[in-house]
Each structure stands twice: as structure tokens, then as C-alpha cells.
Structure 1
Amino acid sequence: MCQLESTKCIFLFCLGISIIMCSVIYLRTKMPAEEKTLHPTSCRQFASECRPFLPERVEWCQSNHQVGRYILNSHLQCSEMIRDLHFITRPLSQDEETYPLAFIVTVHKDLELFVRMLRGIYMPQNVYCIHIDAKAPQEYKVAIRRLVECFHNVFLSSRSETVTYAGFSRLQADLNCMKDLVKSKINWRKVVNLCGQDFPVMSNLELVQYMQSKEWRDKNMTPGVKQPESMRYRTQSHYHENVVLNIAQRMLGQKKAPPPHNLQIYFGTAYYALTRAFVDFVLDSPKAQDLLEWSKDTFSPDEHYWVTLNHIKEAPGSHADGGWEGAIRAIKWGDQEGTKHDGCRGHYVRNICIFGLKDLPWIINRNDMFANKFESNSYPEALDCLEQWHRNKVLKQATVPIEASWLLAKQVTSRNILSYNSTAGA
């Protein structure tokens, strides 16, 4: 009997020790990752070339962080994530609150750039539809879904396309979001579309003021002109989307029939700012639907569809006599080097400049709505600097008290840079 009791005691003792050890191991594996992400013990200074864009002659420092790892931390509450990633949580002016905007954002890569772009354009009175490319990595989709769930006014598109370069799927992705946005309870006034490599230059207040200006108050913004001869190959031949090669390819055979309703085809940018009434027209008008069907086997139809519809006189907010007007994007095209700009300080991809740090003066001086394109890994200093410049401008224009969590970086002295502590997100 004594031996049995002794064995029982030893068993219970060992069981207790095992539970304690397992708990310690669990906490040691979980806690350091959170602490390292949430409370980095060091920060990085802005590049010296960025100093002309910072408001004062002091050292500026932003915390080291890994956005993807931070968002995927299953123990985080949404309130913590919104605070630590420095999202603005209140309308900053009456003008902005009474003129909510809608945004369509199509993404497929570069999670950090997406998060930083979203917090750059985010305001609680607006509404945001995020379209994730169906072929994007699963972890990428999970991270964006995790972030989106924390906001009442940000949602994923109800239908996801496998997007190919210059294919109809890119246009369809925007239309999917439009169908979702018209159901939104937020009474948005105009919709703007973005891709995952854009970054804002105008503040939200400046966007509202620009869209309510005399020139654009009741107008759609779709820069473009009558289709030039050099671009007619795009709509005269049949194309199909090669999902394997991720590109639209020309099909051999008959040429396409002329566009429906004797429409004059225009060529322009794939990016726009559209009135809500025009979106209704796009979704409901037989003429718009016929043009859409005709465009399904064309090359890069998003570069003719919006601008062509906007030149139909009966379309709400149409700009029938318009040309390239509208400060939609700051883009450095390779074939415009020496005429429209002084060269790319980063590198070209498909004839478009991936901006480097020394491209920022050109971007800021133009003050278009957005700039395209950026890569967070190629030239991180360019994104750091533009983001800080943009947030400084946004907060300077605010008519409400500034909350500490809205600040992206801290002013520090040289002696305390190494000891600086901050929450995640720069």
C-alpha cells in the first residue's frame, strides 16, 4: 500500500513538473516573437537624401519591423494592429467627412508595400474594395484577409480573378469591385482605382478638393485621346489570355469586327476617378455592356474601355471633349526620358520606372494624385521618405487633435537613437 502511494506521488510530481516545463517552453517560443515585433529595441534612420523632405533639422528615426510576420501574429487584437500600424482612426476634416471616396485596389505581391499604401490612403469615412489576384500565394492572401477584417469599411472583392498582363481579367477585377461598391452603405461620391505598386502623393483632403474643383466637380477623370494608328493593333485582332505565361497573346486568324454602336475607340490610362452615376451607367447601360463584351478579346482593354465610355455624351459626368487632362499618376515612361522627365533614378520594368530615392523631388513637385511604381525591396529608402513626407502633410492639414499612434516616426537626438523604443510599423 505504501509503495502504491509512493508511486502515485512520484507520478503526480512528474506530471506537475512536465506541465510547468511545457508551459515555459510554450511561452518562450511565443513571447519573444511578439516582443521582438511589437517592441523593437532599435530603429533605422532616414537616408540623408530624405532630410530635405523632413519638417525640422533633427534626427528622424523609424522602427524596424516585419509587416507580414506582425499581421500573421494570431494573438493580436485588431485594436492593437490598427494602433501599431499607425492607421488614422478619425476623419481629419469636415470637408473629407462629407465627401467620402471609394477605392479599388488590385494586388498580387509585396505585402509591405500594400500595407503602407493602404494606411496612406485610409480614412474611416471612405470605403475600400481589395481584389487579390487568385494566383497570389496563400500566406499573402491570409495576411491581407487578417488585416482587412479589422476595418468596417475595407473588404475583399466577392469574386477573385486570375489576372494576366494586358488581359481582360484586369478590367474584370475592377468591375467586380464596382459591383460590390454600389451595394455599400457608405455614400461614396467618386471611385479611384489603384494597383499594389502605387503610392499616394496628394493627401485625402487634397484628393477631395481636387475632385470638387470647378474642372472636375461633376466629371469623370479618364485621361486619353482618340486611338492613334500605332495602337489600333490592340483592338483589331483577337487576343486570348495565356495564364501559364501570364500575358495576353494575339490569336492568328480573322480580324475583329468593328466596335458596337459605331463607337469611336479612345486610348488612355487604365486609371481613373469616376462619379457614382457613371459607375451605375457602366454596370447597367446596354451600350456599356456591349462594349465590354466586344473588349473581352482585345489587348489591355482597361486602356480603352473607361476612356471610350467617358466620351459618350449620354454617359453621366462624361468628358466628351477631353484629352490627357487629369493629374492621375506620376509615371516615368522610358520612351519619354529627356522630354517629360530627366531619367529614372531606379530602374525600368516594361518601360516604367521603379522609383528610386532621387526620383522623389520630381514626384513631389508634380503633386499628382498618385505615383507609380514602387518596390519595397528594391528601393526601400524611396518608400520610407515619401511615406513620411506624405504623412507629415496629411497631419499638418488636419483640423482635429493628432493622436500619437498616427505618427510614423519619431524625432530623436543622436545620443538616444540606439536606445529608442517604439511599436511596430514605420
Structure 2
Amino acid sequence: MSILGCTKSGFMLCVGICIVLLAINNIDPPDQNTSILSEIKECGFYPGELCTALFEGKPAALVVGNFCQEALPPSKDQGPVLLQSMSNCSTFTQEFHFITKPLSEEETGYPLAFIMTIHKKLDMFLKLLTAIYAPQNVYCIHVDQKSPKPFSLAVQKVADCFPNVFVTRKQETVVYAGISRLQADINCMEELVQSNIRWNHVINLCGQDFPIKTIRETVRYLKSKWRGKNLTPGVVQPDHMKYRTQVSYKEFIHMGKSYVYPTKEEKDPPPHNITLYFGTAYYALTRDFVQFVLSDRRAKDLLEWSKDTYSPDEHYWVTLNRIKGVPGSTPDAGWEGNIRAVKWRDQEGASHSGCHGHYVRDICVFGLGDLQWLMDSPHLFANKFDPHRYPVVTDCLERQYRLRVLKEAEVPLESHWYFPDEYTQKADL
């Protein structure tokens, strides 16, 4: 099982994490796909070579076959648990290859804020945080209230190792398509505006996201086209989406089950004669706009009105951002804006040629054959990833992403910033 690329000195740390992850996530025994990377490592092959071949678009089955003719069974997990291993923050940040120094003046001069809403899969959270972490930025983590206690404690321990990472004090029991998902972001915003870091844009992420563009590339994108503007792709609410806001919806939470269901109660029109828009729940918002959301009567009234709608995060941000005069608003904007690369099932054959992993709620969980498509995407982040089902995908992206980050750096590079199998590539940077 490859979680974060173990060094020899960090072997016991990684083994401990494996144990905790097995307990937290109730992982099923690996199938043929999930054991590919561990099989390759058992055969002694360098994952970077495999990743290079996959990024070149070579068929996954052929690539894997060439790397390992006879797979050995994965070794059993044993060793200390994660909470014990993380008692030393200095060791933790080095073992997990965190970059703890600003890499360029350009990034330092344009700090960002990130909201990370998570509920499971500690390894994917760590991959994401490791990838996007920089000391000039600030990170708010919202942990779902229904998350297992060991998971929540582990996330808090991670946050405690960094002065610019924190777990929000107000936590929601998040229900898919419910108001709780939107409220989780707002909870983080209330604390982010109090941060001593004067961030320029806030970007929201979930636990199955991973960056495609580096922080420096993200800063350049936001500064060039969206400086002082909010990025909320969307359009006027289409007729086929009006069912979401025409009747009242309720959240159901009981005995580990949660969902949103419609009632027969019709809703009044939106407050203040606001025209509803429909768009992505992902955004990049300016600090002034966030202050507006937290203080303006129109924003507060729309939030209250949205509490019993279906998936309100897909109309709330884009609607407020289309109001003329609002800080950073883009009243005439449409779907433009490269926020998130997603393969939707109903767009197969149009915007993409198909999902090489599998679909969950009509969204592709990326498989090996999707790597080249991801690299060609202009978007800042991509969704969805599952390191347990398709570990090679996240491992390869993680390594390829780190090499690009270090290649852009304008400061001396430290050895622990590299992943173990990247040392041989230092000369190429």
C-alpha cells in the first residue's frame, strides 16, 4: 500500500498510518487494480518510471505488465499507530515532505486561503495538504461531525503542527446536497477573515480533490484574469434545475444515514427580488466578497432562504456574485473559469471520451487511463480521486506535481522536499 511514499527512516511511521487508515476507512482487501503499485514496489521497480509511461498515454495494462511480471503478496501492516508517530512535528513534516519555506516572491506577495471540507480518508487529506501547503497561505479544515473520532483527532494533530493551519471551531454534520455543506464553508470564512494573513482569494476544496496547477500557476491565473474578481462559473438558473428551489427540502440524519428529501411545501420567491443562478459549488472568492457574504443583509437573507433548498451551494455563491455592485462581482460572467476538472457522465463524448475509473453520483473517480486527460486540463484542481481504489493515480499525480513545484522554485531546495524515488531526477530540475 503506497500512501505518501515511505523513506527508510520513515518506514514505521508509514506502516502506522496504514493501520490507522484500515481501521478508520474500513478498507476492503485490495483488488487487482488497488494492488498494482504495491506489486511494482515489491518487484523493486521505481514508481517514477511507471508514472512517466502512464503520463505519456501508454496503455495501463501494458505498462504494468512490463514493470512487474510476477506480483508478490503485499506485506502485512504492523507498527505504531499514527497518533503516536506524530508526536514530533519536525519529524512529521520532513517524513511527509512538507515544503515549509516560500518558494518565490510571487507566491509570497499573493497569499491564498483554502477551505478543506473532509470526512474520511486521512491519506488523501494528507496528500492534498502536502501538495498545496505553503507558509504564506492559510488553511481552514472543516471535519464532518459524523467522522470517526480517531480521524478527527489525527486531523487536529496535523493542524497543530502548523501555525497557518487550523480546524474550524464550528463543525457541521454534512449531508450531501444539504445546507450543511454550504454552512461548513461559511464557518471557515468567519475565522479566515480574522487571520493575520492578508489573503487575496479563498478557494474551497473537498477531501477527494487534488491540484493540477501549482500554487504559483494558481496565483498567476488569479492575478492575471481574476485580480479583484470572484470566480464562480454559472448561468441563470435553467428550467430543469428549478425543482431545487421551488419546494422545501429537509435533511434526514439518523443511525448513520443522511440524505435530503423534498416536501410538498412550496417556497416563496428569493428575497430582495434576487435572480437565481446555477453553477459550480467550487469557487475562488476575494476577501472583500467574503466580508460582504458575512455582513450584508441580502447575503444573510439569501442564506436563510436557501436553508431548505436542494444543493444550495450550487446557487448561493454564483447568485451573489452576479449582483451588480457587490465586491468583485462578475454580473455578465458565464461558465468561464478554470476551477475544477470533472468528468461528468452526461458529458461523455462531448467534453471527454469516458471515465477510466468508475462513476459516483455521475462524477468520474479517475482511473489510470485518465492521467493524460488530467495533465491536458487547464483547470486548477480536479475531482474525484480515491487512493484506495486507484492508488497509482494519486501517487503518480503527487510525484509529477511535486517535481513541477520544485522546478519553479527560486530558493535552494531541501532534500526532504523530494519524494524518495525522485532523488535520481534532481539533476533534471
Fold conserved between structures, TM > 0.5: yes
Alpha-carbon distance in structure 1 between the residues aligned to 2:76 and 2:168: 28
Change (3 A) 1:411 1:125: closer
Change (3 A) 1:280 1:69: farther
Contact 1:134 1:160 in 2 (8 A): yes
Partner of 2:30: none
Please tell me whether residue 37 in structure 1 is matched to residue 13 in structure 2: yes
- Which of 253, 261, 268 is matched with 1:243 structurally? 253
For residues 242-391 of structure 1, the aligned pairs below 5 Å read 242-244=252-254, 245-252=257-264, 254-391=265-402
Change (3 A) 1:381 1:35: closer
Contact 1:49 1:357 in 2 (8 A): no
Residues matched between the structures, number: 374
Q: 1:307-349: CA deviations, max 9, x gaps?
A: 0000001210001000001000110000110111000000000
Q: Secondary structure at the residue paired with 1:251?
A: strand
Alpha-carbon distance in structure 2 between the residues aligned to 1:261 and 1:195: 31
Change (3 A) 1:145 1:275: same
Change (3 A) 1:372 1:68: farther
Partner of 2:24: none
Q: Secondary structure at the residue paired with 1:72?
A: helix
Q: 1:258-317: CA deviations, max 9, x gaps?
A: 000111100000000000000000000001011011000000000000000000012100
For residues 52-91 of structure 1, the aligned pairs below 5 Å read 52=53, 71-74=82-85, 76-91=87-102
Alpha-carbon distance in structure 2 between the residues aligned to 1:240 and 1:129: 27
Contact 1:101 1:126 in 2 (8 A): yes
Q: Secondary structure at the residue paired with 2:84?
A: coil
Alpha-carbon distance in structure 1 between the residues aligned to 2:14 and 2:315: 46
Q: Secondary structure at the residue paired with 1:103?
A: strand
Partner of 2:234: 224
Alpha-carbon distance in structure 2 between the residues aligned to 1:261 and 1:391: 47
AA in 1 matched with 2:261: Q
- Which of 164, 171, 175 is matched with 2:186 structurally? 175
AA in 1 matched with 2:231: M
Alpha-carbon distance in structure 2 between the residues aligned to 1:88 and 1:303: 33
Alpha-carbon distance in structure 1 between the residues aligned to 2:240 and 2:302: 21
For residues 63-212 of structure 1, the aligned pairs below 5 Å read 71-74=82-85, 76-212=87-223
Contact 2:234 2:334 in 1 (8 A): yes
AA in 1 matched with 2:13: T
Using the size of structure 2 for normalisation, the TM-score is 0.82
Q: Secondary structure at the residue paired with 1:381?
A: helix
Aligned alpha-carbon RMSD (Å): 2.7
Alpha-carbon distance in structure 1 between the residues aligned to 2:377 and 2:252: 37
Q: Report the identity percentage.
A: 52
TM-superposed CA distance for 1:36, in Å, is 2.9
Alpha-carbon distance in structure 1 between the residues aligned to 2:81 and 2:111: 30
Using the size of structure 1 for normalisation, the TM-score is 0.83
Change (3 A) 1:345 1:68: farther
* Higher RCO by CA contacts (8 Å cutoff, separation 6 or greater): 1
TM-superposed CA distance for 1:409, in Å, is 2.9
Contact 2:12 2:79 in 1 (8 A): no
Q: Secondary structure at the residue paired with 1:92?
A: coil
Change (3 A) 1:260 1:44: farther
Change (3 A) 1:88 1:66: farther
AA in 2 matched with 1:231: M
Q: 1:126-178: CA deviations, max 9, x gaps?
A: 00000000000011011111111000000001100000010000000000000
Q: Secondary structure at the residue paired with 1:396?
A: helix
Contact 2:159 2:166 in 1 (8 A): yes
Alpha-carbon distance in structure 1 between the residues aligned to 2:222 and 2:125: 24
Change (3 A) 1:172 1:38: closer
AA in 2 matched with 1:251: T
